[in-house]
Chain A
Amino acid sequence: MDYKTFSGEGYTGGGIVKKGERTMYCKITVDLHQSHSVEQSACEHIYTDAIFSGAGKYDREAFINAVSMLGASITANISNSRLTIILKSIENNTGTLLKLFETMMQEPTFAGSEIIRIQKQVTNELREHEENAKAVALELFVNQLYAKTDRRYTNTPAEITKTLGLCTNKDLKKLHKAVLSGMWTVTIGSNAEVLKKVTKAIDACKKGTTPVILTGEHSQKAHIQKTILHNIPSKQNIEFSIGGALPLTLHHPDYLPFVFGMNVLGKWGGFTGRLMSTVREKEGLTYGIYAHTQTVEGTEQGYWRIMTFFAPEKSVQGLTSTIREITKIHKSGVTQAEYERFKIILRTQQDMLADSLTASVNSLHGYFCADFNLKEVEEYKNKLMSVTRKEVNNALKIYLDPTMLTISGAGPVANQKKEIQSIS
């Protein structure tokens, strides 16, 4: 696989060229954040359906039909006020798909009848979301760390539902204008010929737009040691998020050592992390427990978080064991044996990307979104492998303070509320 970069008016990015590749996979991300509000959130909820609800000569049915007839797909998702569009197709149909994409971006209709349909649909989905204990636990956790204007803050389903009706065709067009004029990060995986076609289509979409670089609000709250619980009686388990704010950006010298330490504590997926080998394997307290950093970017700080769940009657024991492991690694750091092992594990993680073009594109896209060029990507990956054990343990000592935890839980908490809250 051959790595390339490109840039144009209002976009940057790159691609992975694979000779003879018969598929096209393209990711486009644009940052829309200025200042989070419930109105913005409601509009974003509607936008990701409305953008497919008619463009140019196509009404919604005709547009979806046109894409489906190619066996292709275009999906859109907004998370933390970042819009990501994914295009997937076989090589032969890429040209036609790109024409549809251009129409979608240049001439969206946002018809009134479609907006009404979507408002009802989103209302129903938000109602279902109230019982998604994992998502609710995360939202409670993040809302403890960040103020209402921060991109990561999530309004409640009830708040968003109330505001959905206020989102009009005019608001959607305004949001779409922000999408078109924002800086696009584009990553493509395919053969060389298809890469050219995609960049040509991006040029066409961006033609005539005035590039705007937004300055978003980042507002972290002062820490208050707190456990927030939300009762969802229909669930069997209590979902937890445990962690805290991380005052580091990607380029801070302590960040990669901290990431290394996080992997030792609870590498995401698999059984290599300490949390899986103790809380799950030895103590049998949960099916899954993992740790990682999130929303840390080139210019924005983020947080670290442990995600897990426990049966209600095991939740106190589970949390106690988890905090014990956090305390242990905070106090004593990673061992020499762990340090050596995880250097290999993290290297393997990189090497395994070669098995899948899509996985490679997803990984590369993350770096491009953080403004890395190819050389910087390589340097950054190598840097992770060359952090010292001293740096790792130092970073854990400073940033993984077990007395500064935020804990959130969602599920059948009613009978355990007092005991759980007494832990922190």
Chain B
Amino acid sequence: MSKKQKKATSGIKLPGYTFLKVKGGFSHYILKTNGLQVLHKQILGTGVTTSNITYKVGARDEQAGESGLAHMLEHMLFKPTKHDLKRKVDSGAMHFERDVGCILNANTWKDRTTYFFSYPTEHFNRALQVEAERMTDVVITDKEFLPERNNVLSEFDMYFGDPYYALSVQMVCSAFHSHPYGHETIGFREDIERYTPEKLDTFYKNYYRPDNATITIVGDVSLSDALSAVKEQFGSLKNPATVVPRHDIPEPKQEGVRRAEITRPSNTNVLCLGVRHAGFPTQSWLETSTLFSVLAGGSDSILHKKLVDTGLATSVEGAIEPTSETNLGLLFITLAPQQNHKETEDTVMEILASITVKDITKLLKKTIQGALTAELFARGSSLRIAMELTEYVSADAWESYLKTETMLNAITPKQLIACKDALFAEDQMTIGYFKGIQ
């Protein structure tokens, strides 16, 4: 092996770090003092860097009566830390955005919460300082919490007014009787209204810690600069003496179809088929995602042709989340006026039962080509690379990000048929009706 090849696979040595791997342009390290994981990829010449920190905490870590806490806490990470109060500024994160105009945001999902900044590289150290300070030092008091809770309630109302979202909430509640995926990330309004700063603070201290986080740095910054800066900003942070609380709650076996229904004044009528799919980023998850594209991904998909083109439906759409455990994938069918939920359900089940290997074969090739093109476009900016990597990082499987093409090309029509038959078995399905009344 040449010196260059050796360097390419062995990474650079930096005191304070354990080198784990170099692959596909990504370098993976762990900070020795506290177990913070660091993932880095350099993109030369743009002058832009994206840094993203992912905490392995999400809706799945919430107890009954405290749904949505992880998401509420995400909002609170944009409030002042004790360092900001000393400096007499509003939150460091907001201050950073207002000073330099970076792109910033965050989002929470079932398994993880992620925060990101995208900015001209000259601001790299400051971005890391903000992340390090708010990892443990946000001050959660009524003064900051109460107005922000109103914003979360406003966000809740924004989603809840959407028929598709409202139906999906009911469906996951029906599908999961025990497993914590049985509530949506934003939580129930009744729980949100009962949060206190104390509840948030306990949750914060349990999960926001270096050994429960990965910082991903993609952009125009070298590996050595990135590692040095991370060590400088995060190196002194300590983990609590306690372990990270994890709940291992198995879902009891489903027997027969489960159902959910919502009735509201509306023009819209929706049928939704929910199916239990494997965790991300397994081959099985990818098969389900591909199947959803074949069934409802565009005007040449099976359900679009059979339902939309024939006037039975206005639209069809599939939704599948990259969760680490079995979750509910959703196929939404918006009924055309005068169509009946039960009859449409029967029609869809007949269509699904009649799909053959021949039907799938041509569609599969197109779907894979489309997915590969989409991936190529998605990997064209530091921000989009970091965003996509978040889900792989959350599943402790970042290397799978590099295997997408291989995994897609490995899917066969027979596998998709088998996947379809398994997913749409009665004891795997939850069916939902959104009934709009005039």
A residues at B contact (CB < 8 Å):
22-23, 25, 52, 61, 64-65, 68-73, 88-90, 117, 120-121, 124-125, 127-128, 130-131, 133, 233-237, 269-272, 277, 280-287, 309-311, 341, 344-349, 351-352, 354-359, 411
Q: Beta-carbon contacts of B145-163 to A below 8 Å, as 1s and 0s?
A: 0111111011101101101
Q: Is the Cβ of B47 less than 8 Å from the Cβ of A345?
A: no
Q: Are A348 and B101 in contact (CB under 8 A)?
A: yes
Q: Which residues of the partner chain A approach B157 to less than 8 Å between Cβ atoms?
A: 236-237, 311
CB of B264 within 8 Å of the partner chain: yes
**Contact status of A130 and B99, CB under 8 A, knowing A281-B147, A351-B47, A352-B48:** no
Q: How far is the CA of A359 from the CA of B308 in the complex (A)?
A: 32
Could you say which interface size class chain B belongs to? 35 or more
Q: Is the CB of A287 within 8 A of B369?
A: no
> Do residues B377 and A234 form an inter-chain contact, with CB atoms below 8 A?
no
Say yes or no: B147 contacts A282, CB within 8 Å: yes
Instruction: Return 17 A-B CB contacts under 8 Å, by A number.
Output: A23-B373, A68-B300, A71-B373, A121-B308, A127-B314, A127-B337, A234-B163, A234-B264, A234-B265, A237-B161, A271-B104, A309-B158, A310-B154, A311-B153, A311-B157, A341-B99, A349-B101
Cβ-neighbour of A286 out of B50, B102, B151 (below 8 A): B151
- Complex CA distance for A282 and B151, rounded to whole angstroms: 10
Q: Is B425 located at the chain interface by the 8 A CB criterion?
A: no
Chain A min CB distance to B51 (Å) = 13
Q: How long is the Cα–Cα vector from A64 to B99 in the complex, in angstroms?
A: 48
Q: Are B365 and A69 in contact (CB under 8 A)?
A: yes
- B207 an interface residue at 8 Å Cβ cutoff? no
Q: Check A357 against B380 for contact (C-beta < 8 Å).
A: yes
Contact of B100 with A71 in the complex, beta carbons under 8 Å: no
CA distance A271 to B79 in the complex (A): 12
Which residue of A52, A237, A270, A347 is within 8 Å of B97 (Cβ)?
Answer: A270
CB distance from B151 to the nearest CB of A (A): 5
CB-defined contacts of A125 to chain B, threshold 8 Å: 314-315
Cβ-based interface call for B208 (8 A): no
B381–A131 touching, CB < 8 Å:
no
Q: Which residue of B lies closest to A63 (CB)?
A: B300
Contact of B151 among A64, A72, A284, A346 (CB under 8 A): A284
Q: Which of chain B's residues has its CB closest to A350's CB?
A: B101
Q: Measured between alpha carbons, how far is A358 from B379 in the docked complex, in Å? A: 11
B254 within 8 A of A: no
Inter-chain contact A345/B300, CB cutoff 8 Å? no
Q: A89-B373, A269-B103, A348-B101 are in contact. List 13 more A-B contacts (CB 8 A).
A: A70-B369, A117-B309, A121-B314, A124-B314, A128-B267, A128-B314, A237-B158, A270-B97, A277-B94, A284-B154, A344-B101, A354-B47, A356-B381
Q: Are B436 and A234 in contact (CB under 8 A)?
A: yes
Q: How far, in Å, is A269 (CB) from chain B's closest CB? A: 8
Q: Taking each of A64, A272, A280, A283, which has the highest tally of chain B beta carbons within 10 Å of its own beta carbon?
A: A272
